[in-house]
Amino acid sequence: MQYIELIYNLFIFLLGLCIGSFLNVVIYRIEEDKSFLKGRSFCPNCKHNLNWKDLFPVFSFLYLQGKCRYCKAKISWQYPAVELATALIFLLIFNFQFSIFNEFSITQLFNLFFWFYIVSILIIIFIYDLKHYLIPDNVLFPAIVISFLYRLAEYLNLYNFNILELISNFKFQISNLVINQLLAVIIASGFFFTLWFLSSGRWMGFGDVKLAILLGLILGWPNILVGLFLAFFIGSIVSLFLLGLRSKKLKSQVPFGPFLITGTFIAMFWGNQIINWYLNLAL
């Protein structure tokens, strides 16, 4: 059994590296306003099409010593960092939220693909917002729609998609939905909308309001509170550190999307433990 688990984990890790490499392509193509579904990968500096030997995630970067094979321009550390981050988070999702070693099901596979997709979208938004202080709508809006449909399918599955039984328990179903995802969406997006409205966009960008809708659907209630608290806490620590280094001034802009996504990742895996720890501490 341990040998099988090792094979599964190795496969997921390699899959994450490959997906991370693709995410780098998506990020670059969005920056250049190009389709990421067409054309071969190429060096951003000399535009030379990359050989298959140049496309191994992380390993090609190390082998080429962080330089393009053709023009010797430096390759950004973003590329291996995104690849490794994607692989590690895929592993966490696979081991924290799923257990297919004893029993395999289509539902588990569907859930796994959904969370891999969500992680990929969040990583794209993280890097893009960090570099451009902007959250791309063409990535965010489809993720919101897919997350809503996923949650809807999740609730329908409680009654094995039996419409008559679902209608007979309609009130319970709606209350459950409101308490979990909808309440999280309303609180998160409403909070950021208030900050954006009161400051006329100086304290918070409207992109963060839209991102909060996605995060509410992902985390639900009460984990959204953990994600938001961690986002502000980590953001404060990083901002103070940057001020200490004098690389930022008090009036300098700092993108908040990466902090929201970092808090979301932590809440996804350890949100319940953090809530239980806090409640035990408070009592």
Chain segment 28-73, per-residue pLDDT in tens: 989 887 777 677 777 777 877 777 777 788 888 888 888 888 888 8
Angstrom CA distances, 18 to 26, 27, 83, 100, 127, stand at 13, 14, 7, 22, 17
Residue 112 has pLDDT above 60, yes or no: yes
Average pLDDT over residues 18-34: 90
- Cβ atoms of 47 and 118 within 8 Å: the answer is no
Rounded to an integer, what distance in angstroms lies between the CA atom of residue 17 and that of residue 21? 6
Number of Cβ within 10 Å of residue 212's Cβ equals: 26
For residue 118, which of 211, 252, 229, 227 has the smallest C-alpha distance? Answer: 211
pLDDT tens digits for 78-91?
999 999 999 999 99
Number of Cβ within 10 Å of residue 75's Cβ equals: 19
- Cβ atoms of 205 and 256 within 8 Å: the answer is yes
**pLDDT for residue 61:** 86
pLDDT tens digits for 169-208?
555 555 566 567 888 999 999 999 999 889 887 878 888 9
**pLDDT for residue 159:** 47
Task: Name the residue ranges covered by the structural domains of the chain.
Answer: 1-116, 135-283
Considering all CA atoms of the chain, what is the largest pairwise distance in Å, rounded to the nearest integer?
Answer: 67
Average pLDDT over residues 102-126: 86
Rounded to an integer, what distance in angstroms lies between the CA atom of residue 254 and that of residue 260? 12
- Cβ atoms of 111 and 126 within 8 Å: the answer is no
- Cβ atoms of 275 and 226 within 8 Å: the answer is yes
Beta-ladder partners of 49:
42
Rounded to an integer, what distance in angstroms lies between the CA atom of residue 280 and that of residue 38? 53
Q: Among 21-25, 63-67, 211-215, 279-283, where is mean pLDDT lowest?
A: 279-283
3-state DSSP call for residue 144?
A: helix
Rounded to an integer, what distance in angstroms lies between the CA atom of residue 246 and that of residue 1? 53
Rounded to an integer, what distance in angstroms lies between the CA atom of residue 144 and that of residue 138? 11
